[in-house]
Amino acid sequence: MALPFPAERRLILGGAGNIEVVAHLPAEIAARAVAIVAHPHPLFGGTMDNKVVTTLARAMFDAGAAVFRFNFRGVGKSEGTHDHGRGETEDMLNVLTHAASVAGENLPVWFAGFSFGGAVALAASEQAAVDEMVLVAPAFERMSHWVNVSKGGNPPASTLLIHGESDETVPMADSMAWAKPRDLCVTVVPAADHFFHMRLHILKRLVSQHFH
């Protein structure tokens, strides 16, 4: 039986004004980690309600984390305007500060990001101690103007990097090139496109297995 998936919407203060956040907090057990999930590119319709984002959030919640997903500046009720990654990195770090104050300052930190959100998660890991990271079709190369793809970020050695075999937006070769010098593995989902249509159940299973 699936666990209840409580969701609480809230506004927190960020560098460009309010940030819209949805918190998924375990009701009957203490959280084992604080998880922050970043969404795809705002200028192409990306929001925290994207199905890949909510799938990641659910899998991490089921693994015992207090999960926080949020809208980048200029999306939904989040104030400000798109800042091409730099401001969005600040948004993610502000959400982490809030999340830790709610769920526990000393809990392990898990970052997750999809596409543009993966690049933001990598950039944010330069300024936060991240214990676990899940990156789904991360758009590193397309964001190289603000993320140093070859040297930037501080991903854990246990980073889970997932890419769809048939991704038409972010070439799988980009993930391979990024992972190779870091001695990281790339998990390829056969026949999956960028948004994992008809493959979200596989994505959820992979993330669940990673944390259990």
Domains of the chain, each with CATH number or no CATH: 8-211 (3.40.50.1820)
Structure confidence at residue 150 as a pLDDT band (50, 70, 90) = low
How many angstroms from the chain centroid is the CA of residue 170? Answer: 16
The mean pLDDT of 150-177, rounded to a whole number, is 91
Tens digit of each residue's pLDDT (9 = 90 or more) over 82-103:
999 999 999 999 999 999 999 9
Tell me the pLDDT band of 147, cut-offs 50, 70 and 90: low
Q: Tell me the three-class secondary structure of 1-32, residue by residue.
A: CCCCCCCEEEEEEECCEEEEEEEECCCCCCCC
Its pTM stands at 0.96
pLDDT of residue 140: 86
